[in-house]
Amino acid sequence: MEKSLERASAEQLPASQTPDTRRREIGSEVSPSPSSSSTSEQHNGSTPQFVNTIRANFEAKYEELGLLGKGGFGSVYAGNRRTDNFQVAIKQIPKADVETQPTILNGKIYMIPKEVLLMLRAGDGPGSVGKSAAVSLLDWYSFDEEVLLIMERPVYSVDLWNHLNDNGGALSEDQAKNIMKQLVEASIQMLSVGVFHRDIKTENILIETRSDEPRVRIIDFGCGCRVRKRPFSSFSGTSAYAPPELFIKGKYKAGPTTVWQLGAVLFELLDGDKQFTTSEYLCDKIKLNQKLSQDCQD
């Protein structure tokens, strides 16, 4: 989980701190911040807590352990819930980098981090721990300088990028099919509740390995947003996986972009060596592995 629970890029880190050579540029959202909007969202999921601003409450409930990953948008630490030693991941985000959205909770308006709202919709809160494809949010805290997100931490797991390395750099078609089926189902579920992840890639996919059949879990909703009918014109995510229509027309939509990014993941699962980039695809520089079955190539 060390690399997969962070949102970093070679552009945002000095070369000496770059986690690996596959780390891509992550663009910033340049459309108006939800916090400046006059509209509010009525949240209909389970809320772990409203706004907790007391650090002592966090320290009494959770024990923070070693660093899992660090990037341009914050750091992620391993941790335990003190009452039962349940293993958690603690994501620390500088307050200046947190987008908030006015949200009605029990009749009052709270400024809630957008990532919190997306995770609650995708994973449906603490009650879904271990049940949803999206990793569940357990708690969150807002302090003067930072926001903390407390998430479940699947213990027997590895990000998909490392899973590929552990399996010799590429998967068989049957192995890839199993993972892709789960990813498609997870994507359909997220879009159905209005969540556009926008940064689906091997580093943001965990593979639970405790059973014979690997299980997919989705992490890092920091680039995500709500699904909407009108096209998006600004991109927040990994530029290597931006949809071609963004380059060609300057606009893109949630569903087709998700399909495009799933296709990029499938390419990397089966190629095992070459990174997919949309820009190379548009220049006809992406070549399929001719050893794959014709159905798979199609």
Tell me whether residue 38 is annotated as binding. Answer: no
Cα distance between residue 106 and residue 170, in whole Å = 49
Tell me whether residue 72 is annotated as binding. Answer: yes
Tell me whether residue 73 is annotated as binding. Answer: yes
Q: Which long-range contacts (CB under 8 A, 24 or more apart) does 9-16 make?
A: 9/71, 9/72, 9/238, 11/72, 12/71, 12/72, 12/73, 13/71, 13/72
Cα distance between residue 121 and residue 44, in whole Å = 8
Tokens of 124: 């449906």
Choose among 206, 87, 211, 218: nearest CA to 157.
206
Tell me whether residue 45 is annotated as binding. Answer: no
Tell me whether residue 74 is annotated as binding. Answer: yes
Selected catalytic residue, list 139, 199, 220, 271: 199
Q: What angle do CA 32, 108, 198 make, to 5 degrees?
A: 35
Tell me whether residue 70 is annotated as binding. Answer: yes
Tell me whether residue 91 is annotated as binding. Answer: yes
Cα distance between residue 3 and residue 17, in whole Å = 12
Tell me whether residue 235 is annotated as binding. Answer: no
Task: Give the CA radius of gyration of the chain.
Answer: 19
Calculate helix-pair angle for 254-271, 173-192, nearest 10 degrees.
160
Tell me whether residue 71 is annotated as binding. Answer: yes
Cβ atoms 116, 103 nearer than 8 A: no
The 3 state secondary structure assigned to 116-157 is: HHHHHHHHCCHHHCCCCCECCEEEEEECCCEEEEEEECCCCE
Cα distance between residue 237 and residue 243, in whole Å = 11
User: Does residue 199 have an active-site annotation?
Assistant: yes
Tell me the catalytic residues. 199
**Would you list which residues are annotated within the binding site?**
68-76, 91, 152, 159
**Would you list which residues are annotated within the binding site for ATP?**
68-76, 91, 152, 159
